Structures are given as structure tokens and as C-alpha cells.
Amino acid sequence: MESLNDIKKRVKSVNDISQLTHAMQLVSASKMRKSKQQHEKVSPFFSLCAVSLMKLHRNMGDVDNPFLKLREKKAGETWKIGYFVLTGDQGLAGAYNNNIVKITEEHIQSKIMENAHKKIKTDYRLYVFGQMGSGKLKKDGYLVDPDFSYPITEPTYYEARNVANIIRAKYLNGEFDLVYLIYTKMESAISMKPVISRVVPIGADSLTNFMQNNEEDTELDLDDDWKAEYHPDAESVLSFLIDTGLNAVVYGAMVEAYACEQTARMQAMDNANRNADEMMKDLTMKSNRARQARITNELNEIVNGASQVE
């Protein structure tokens, strides 16, 4: 049995850790709420742009815009793919970062195998937000761009616009044929899952997913009759909507990922607090037993000493 002094030291250690995890839980909850409020302020405008882009593209028919056309590859050619992966800068968030890394590695391997069956080569490059995912992917031997360094903490629209500009530039100059965003999506207050969304070329799926995340912010119906005049012309409006839509998708993913990271950390700290409470109960019982054993030993010593005197 542990000595009473050892148990007291463990009680103090567990109590100190419990106070720290409780504080981290409160901080994560505050950051999560702040990030959600920040996104809610701008999501109506982004949703309107997404809906308008889909309607305009549908009404214009076949449009000669590079961001709306999927390139074709033949045997012997190479698919050049860019992955923008949103992970955290800190740990203590349960399986949050590991899940993102896992789905990224699985998608890369899947693409390589799929293209290999078609006798098409695969060239990829990873652009990772956050140090946790970057370090893990490098360790696993994946190609991570060393010059790309964007924190995920408290994302802003300006940072998202800069990332979207990088995506646009690399796609237009031929560095990439496909660009994917990999981040964590919050399905409910307690359910999160990593998702992969193709952002370039822009597809209906990514825009539809974005609108589903913000469906309460817009009353526009994709099936209604929509007639409008464009100034200066439809192509210019479409180009603006494509740029703004890409900014919106990147910013939405950054905010969603940051909120999910904080939620995951909040849940992890809540579990740590519960474990600390269980440990405190167990240590309290051990402390009581040790104290009783010490009192019993002292009484035995007194009785034995008295009997020897007699």
C-alpha cells in the first residue's frame, strides 16, 4: 500500500492538472463561440454569392472559364493535385489532428492507385495549416510545402483571401489540375467528421455543401425562375462570383476547422476533468485506508507497549 505522503502528493498533482484542464476547457469554449459568431456575420453574403454563381452558371450554359472546367488526362500524362489541409497548431484535442492526417493520407493513396490503373501519373503537393498535421505528414514521408505557413488560430477573411489567391495562381499557371480542401466539419454540437471538398475546378458539390452549411442564411431557391441583368456583362459578374465564392469556401473551411478544433479540445478537457474526478475519488479512498492503517498501527504499538510495561 502507498504511504500517506505519497498519496497526498498524487492528490495535489491530480488537483493541479484538473484546474489546468478546466481552464483550457473554458478557453476553448469561448474561442469556439467567438469563431462561430464571426462566421455567422458574413455567411449570408457568401451564401448569396454561392447561390448566384450556381444560377448564373446554369443559365449561361457552356462557359469558357478555366475555373469551371475539369481538365482531361490521357495515359502517360500526369494529374497535378494540390491539397490544402487544415489541422491545429496545438495538441490536447483528442483524435482531431490524427483524423485529418489519416483521411489525407488515404485520399492521396487512393488517387495514386486510381490513376495508376488508368496509366496516369500522380503528382501532389500538400499545403498544411497548423504545425501538428505538418509534422506528422512530413514524418510519414509525404510532400509538404515548406514555404506555406498559415496558422489556423482565429482565422480572418484576409488570410482566406490570400490562400484563395495562391490557389487561383497555381491553378492558372498549370501547377495544379485539381485542388482539394481537407478540413473537419461540425455536423452537430457533439459530432464532427473530416471532409474532402474539391474547390478547383469549382463544382456543384462544393458549392452545395457550402450552402447546406448556411442554408438558414438565404431564402433563395435554386429551382425558381431567375432573370437578371448583368453589369457590365455576365462574364464579368461570373468572374467576380467565382473569386468571391472561392474566398468564401476557403474562409468557411478555416472557420469551421478552427471551431471544430476548439470543440474537440473542449471535449477532451471535459473527459480529462471527469477522469481527474474519478482519480480523486480513488485517491481519497486510498488516503482514508492509509490513514486508518496508520492509526491501527499506532494503536497496536500503544497496546504492545503497555503490555510490555505490565
Instruction: Provide the 10 A C-beta neighbour count for residue 155.
Output: 26
Is residue 239 very low, low, confident or very high in pLDDT (cuts 50, 70, 90)?
Answer: confident
For the chain, what are the domain ranges? 26-267
Q: Looking at the predicted structure, is the pLDDT value of residue 113 above 90? A: yes
Question: For residue 115, what pLDDT is reported?
Answer: 93
pLDDT of residue 135 exceeding 80: yes
- Rounded mean pLDDT, 41-53: 72
Which of 39-43, 128-132, 190-194, 216-220 is predicted with the least confidence, judged by mean pLDDT? 216-220
Q: Is the pLDDT of residue 305 over 80?
A: no
Residue 248 has what pLDDT?
A: 83
For 36-50, 155-169, 216-230, 234-248, which range has the lowest pLDDT when averaged over its residues?
216-230
- pLDDT value at 205 more than 70: no
What nine digits make up the cell of 3?
504511504
Share the mean pLDDT of the chain: 81
Lowest mean pLDDT, pick from 154-163, 182-191, 298-307: 298-307
Average pLDDT over residues 277-305: 79
More confident residue, 274 or 84: 84
Please tell me the predicted confidence (pLDDT) of residue 114.
93
In which band, very low, low, confident or very high, does the pLDDT at 61 lie, cut at 50, 70 and 90? Answer: low
Cα separation, 207 vs 192, in Å, equals 20
pTM of the model: 0.81
- Give the CATH architecture of domain 26-267: 3-Layer(aba) Sandwich (3.40)
